[in-house]
Structure 1
Amino acid sequence: MSHADFGQPAGLPAATVFDALGADYERAFAGSAAHRASLDGLLERLSPGSRVLDVGSGTGRPTAQALAGAGHRVVGVDVSPVMTALAARQVPDAEFLCADIRDLPLADGEFDAVCAYFSLLQLSRDDQKELLGRLVRAVRPGGRLVVATVPVDVADVDAVFMGQPVRVSSFGAAEFTALAAGAGTVVEERQSTLFTPDHPAGEPEPHLFLRCRRV
């Protein structure tokens, strides 16, 4: 999520934005070595046949595809009907739900791992805090949470992301890491990088990847 163009018109709903982006989003972020490294780190720590929730699953690539290809049972959730349909075609071995994760019932400890790659940015700060807690509780004790964000200190700011008006909120790196820990995890790895999406409207943006273990 690029935050280079603040002060633009009020953002569109997340579903509208990602319906419009479709496969362009996958192409723009396909070159993220840090995302691949985060996934590889998770795959190394999962037991065979683990049940994994992919929050903001997008087109299904690379996250759901990598996990399902390794034999894990993947449930992807995304608010975009276009993205969800594309993911179902591209990763037929995973299950995809078109839903707002805030409205989805999550049982305590029902997953071995949860992934949330850049899927919190269009939520308010309060919603992000609440959702992080719910996602951690949805992981069994000792299970994994991997989460990525754009670590900038903004709240309800209008921006342009790949040509689409959006409203974004986020936290600085230290505060976001503290939120993950405070939600009931041990943060085992923290990786920061700068990435430019492969898109005509792409701007360099900081990325923060955390790998956490539920206590």
Structure 2
Amino acid sequence: MTEEDGRAPAAVVFDALGLDHERAFADSAERRASPDWLLERLAPGIRVLDVGSGTGRPTAHTLAGAGDRVLGLDVSPVMVDPAARQVPGAEFRLADIRDTPLAEASFDAVCAYFSLLQMSRAEQAAVVAKPARVVRIGGLVAPATVPLDVADAECVFMGQPTRVTGFGAEAFTGLVTGAGLTVLAEECSRYTPDLPGAMPEPRLFLHARRPDQPPEGR
């Protein structure tokens, strides 16, 4: 939480960015392709949890438009309000995944795109483990991150000062498999946001499944 007002650091950053964030990342082909990957593998009408749902585009918009029941969670009211207007077919809550109670096996799929970077490594591990519990057996989990091995590093994101923590690609994949999920696909890419002077940034998209049987020792 921030010392100034008790809000999560991500809320402070994304309250300031609003719809500018959506516009800057609107052309990310991988971000658009990941929900399509889920739709291809699960029956229509599934229940999907979108962690860090932002303005609702493209993820909730794509899934709800296909007839899925989407619950989006985000810590920023400036993101949640336009999401509810832009994707009226989905449900959005102003909530932090870290302290939101969710029932075991209550979702068919979980998405978490770039929503962990303002958390500590211990918090990220706990959040990755949570979808592994709330998704049903055989359900799918699609996390994505910026694969950088940094801890509480100062940076400026779209003009906003913030601190970020991340894992390298191998370590982040290990976090997902360590939560008991089976990684089915992995895609590393680079993306340049639509911003003046922006530089390409690395991105890692994983697609995983909750197996029918827990791993040995779990």
Where on the TM-score scale, by shorter chain, does this alignment land: which range? over 0.9
Q: Which moved more, 1:30-39 or 1:114-123?
A: 30-39
Q: CA RMSD in A?
A: 1.0
For residue 55 of structure 1, what is the amino acid of its counterpart?
Answer: V
The answer to whether residue 165 in structure 2 is matched with residue 199 in structure 1 is no
Residue 22 (structure 1) aligns with: 18
Which of 59, 69, 76 matches 1:73?
Answer: 69
2:9 and 2:174 map into 1 onto residues whose CA distance is 28
Cα distance, 1:16 vs. partner?
1.4
Q: Which runs of 5+ in 2 are unaligned?
A: 1-7, 212-218
- Structure 1 runs, 4 residues or longer, greater than 4 Å off: none
The answer to whether residue 56 in structure 2 is matched with residue 60 in structure 1 is yes
Which of 93, 101, 104 matches 2:100?
Answer: 104
What do the CA deviations read for 1:105-156 (whole angstroms, capped 9, x no partner)?
0111000000000001111000000111111101001000001000010111
For residue 195 of structure 2, what is the amino acid of its counterpart?
Answer: H
For residue 43 of structure 2, what is the amino acid of its counterpart?
Answer: S
What do the CA deviations read for 1:167-214 (whole angstroms, capped 9, x no partner)?
111100011011101101110000000001101253210000000001
Residue 5 (structure 1) aligns with: none
Which of 41, 50, 56 matches 1:45?
Answer: 41
Which of 22, 31, 55 matches 1:35?
Answer: 31
The answer to whether residue 207 in structure 2 is matched with residue 211 in structure 1 is yes
Where 1:49 maps in the other structure, the secondary structure is coil
Asked whether the 8 Å contact 1:55–1:117 carries over to 2, the reply is yes
The answer to whether residue 184 in structure 2 is matched with residue 188 in structure 1 is yes
Residue 9 (structure 1) aligns with: none
1:76 and 1:108 map into 2 onto residues whose CA distance is 17
Residue 160 (structure 2) aligns with: 164
Asked whether the 8 Å contact 1:54–1:64 carries over to 2, the reply is yes
For residue 192 of structure 1, what is the amino acid of its counterpart?
Answer: C
For residue 136 of structure 1, what is the amino acid of its counterpart?
Answer: A
What do the CA deviations read for 1:51-71 (whole angstroms, capped 9, x no partner)?
000000000000000000000
For residue 73 of structure 2, what is the amino acid of its counterpart?
Answer: V
2:43 and 2:93 map into 1 onto residues whose CA distance is 24
Q: What percentage of residue pairs aligned between the two structures are identical?
A: 64
Cα distance, 1:14 vs. partner?
1.1
Residue 132 (structure 2) aligns with: 136
Aligned length: 204
Pair 1:57–1:201, CA change in 2 (3 A): farther
TM-score normalised by length of structure 2: 0.92
Where 2:31 maps in the other structure, the secondary structure is helix
Cα distance, 1:33 vs. partner?
0.8
2:85 and 2:44 map into 1 onto residues whose CA distance is 24
Where 1:154 maps in the other structure, the secondary structure is coil
